[in-house]
């Protein structure tokens, strides 16, 4: 049975509206030990859409499920055609001011760690260290038969060779790195196998319907337990993948602060929600703390 991802939730009307004052975030960071939990909203200013914000991709696009991918060669053909085209744009995305601010917080010893629900690698590109990629990363590929890992750039080269001239115009790019294509545009796209054993290749990301590895969840829970506060950036917290860490922090009495323009499913657990664009809010916080926000491309 095809699992449809959670599309929405109904905000509690009794919750207070978000504030435009990022001061509480600066205050929390000034004491150090802050754990960041980031979501797709942090990357929208880099040109990567989110799932559930205004114009989010889930209003028009149901992501590939693990069950469909593993059970259907046709589904894999559609996925890799869309993902191959999307990677040409996705792979060129650059960190924005929000990513750079998070990296600055880390460089100056204010963070205990970064957990990201994103698969775009932009935290690392901005200079953040020891990032836990909760849902994996699109820049790696894994074989489902032998477990071999390989770089996405190598697969992109092989797919280019196997599909010379493949250049349809996509309607839109999605947060999971694929592009909207019709079945006619997918055509007879050729999928390439693992070079080690000939098995099925899959991006090293957690698909809908697939569980996050238990060891990774346990590691994240340890980080939450050790943090002085939890700072959620650009996540609606609609799915349990991230919400569980917010609930864990709140139950332990650890302050939860959220920066997200729209209400989130975790607002009831937060001491504040800053309703500002991520780049604006985090740059303001960095300036308040006297921290330079460097662009790694020019530093």
Instruction: Tell me the binding residues for NAD(+).
Output: 39-59, 117-120, 234-236, 278
Mean pLDDT of 157-161: 96
pLDDT band for position 23 (cuts 50, 70, 90): very high
What integer pLDDT is reported at residue 54 of this predicted model? 52
What integer pLDDT is reported at residue 59 of this predicted model? 45
Weakest-pLDDT range from 61-70, 110-119, 163-172, 257-266: 163-172
What integer pLDDT is reported at residue 9 of this predicted model? 60
pLDDT at 232 over 60: yes
Higher pLDDT, 295 or 95: 95
Mean pLDDT of 77-95: 88
Q: Are 130 and 124 in contact (CB under 8 A)?
A: no
What integer pLDDT is reported at residue 208 of this predicted model? 85
Q: Which of 123, 135, 190, 219 is catalytic?
A: 135
User: Quick one: how far is CA 134 from the chain centroid?
Assistant: 8
Rounded (5°) CA angle 273-217-263: 20
pLDDT band for position 64 (cuts 50, 70, 90): confident
Q: Which CATH superfamily is domain 23-288 in?
A: TPP-binding domain (3.40.50.1220)
Q: How many Cα atoms are found within 13 Å in the side-chain-facing hemisphere of 266?
A: 35
Please give the structure tokens belonging to residue 47: 């040109």
What's the alpha-carbon Rg for the chain, to the nearest Å?
19
What integer pLDDT is reported at residue 177 of this predicted model? 67
What pTM value is reported for the model?
A: 0.89
Instruction: Tell me the binding residues.
Output: 39-59, 117-120, 143, 146, 194, 197, 234-236, 278
Annotation marks residue 135 as catalytic? yes
Instruction: Tell me the binding residues for Zn(2+).
Output: 143, 146, 194, 197
Mean pLDDT of 221-249: 96
pLDDT band for position 244 (cuts 50, 70, 90): very high
At 271-288, the pLDDT tens digits run 999 999 999 999 999 999
Higher pLDDT, 48 or 108: 108
Nearest partner of 98 among 38, 182, 26, judged by Cα: 38
For residue 60, the tally of other CB atoms under 10 A from its CB is: 11
Q: Are 270 and 257 in contact (CB under 8 A)?
A: yes
At 31-57, the pLDDT tens digits run 999 999 999 999 999 988 775 455 444
pLDDT at 176 over 80: no
Instruction: Write down the mean pLDDT value for the chain.
Output: 89
Rounded (5°) CA angle 176-104-268: 60
What integer pLDDT is reported at residue 17 of this predicted model? 82
């Amino acid at each position: 049975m095809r699992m449809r991802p959670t599309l929405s939730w109904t905000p509690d009307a009794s919750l207070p509206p978000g504030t435009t004052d990022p001061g509480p975030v600066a205050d929390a960071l000034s004491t150090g030990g802050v754990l960041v939990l980031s979501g797709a909203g942090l990357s929208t200013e880099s040109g990567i859409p989110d799932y559930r914000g205004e114009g989010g991709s889930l209003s028009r696009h149901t992501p590939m499920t693990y069950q469909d991918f593993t059970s259907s060669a046709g589904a894999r053909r559609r996925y890799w055609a869309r993902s191959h085209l999307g990677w040409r744009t996705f792979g060129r995305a650059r960190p924005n001011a929000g990513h750079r601010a998070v990296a600055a917080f880390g460089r100056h010893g204010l963070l205990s760690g970064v957990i990201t629900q994103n698969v775009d690698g932009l935290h690392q590109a901005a200079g953040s260290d020891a990032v836990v990629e909760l849902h994996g990363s699109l820049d790696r590929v894994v074989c489902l038969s032998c477990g071999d890992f390989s770089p996405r750039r190598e697969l992109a080269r092989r797919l280019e060779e196997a599909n010379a001239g493949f250049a349809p115009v996509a309607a839109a790019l999605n947060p999971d790195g694929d592009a909207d294509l019709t079945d006619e545009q997918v055509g007879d796209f050729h999928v390439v196998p693992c070079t080690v054993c000939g098995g099925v290749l899959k991006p090293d990301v957690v698909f809908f319907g697939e569980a996050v590895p238990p060891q990774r969840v346990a590691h994240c829970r340890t980080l939450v337990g050790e943090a002085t506060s939890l700072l959620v950036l650009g996540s609606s917290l609609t799915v349990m993948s991230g919400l569980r860490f917010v609930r864990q922090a709140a139950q332990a009495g650890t302050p939860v602060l959220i920066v997200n323009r729209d209400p989130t499913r975790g607002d009831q657990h937060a001491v504040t929600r800053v309703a500002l664009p991520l780049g604006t809010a985090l740059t303001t916080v960095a300036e308040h703390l006297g921290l330079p926000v460097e662009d790694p491309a020019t530093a």
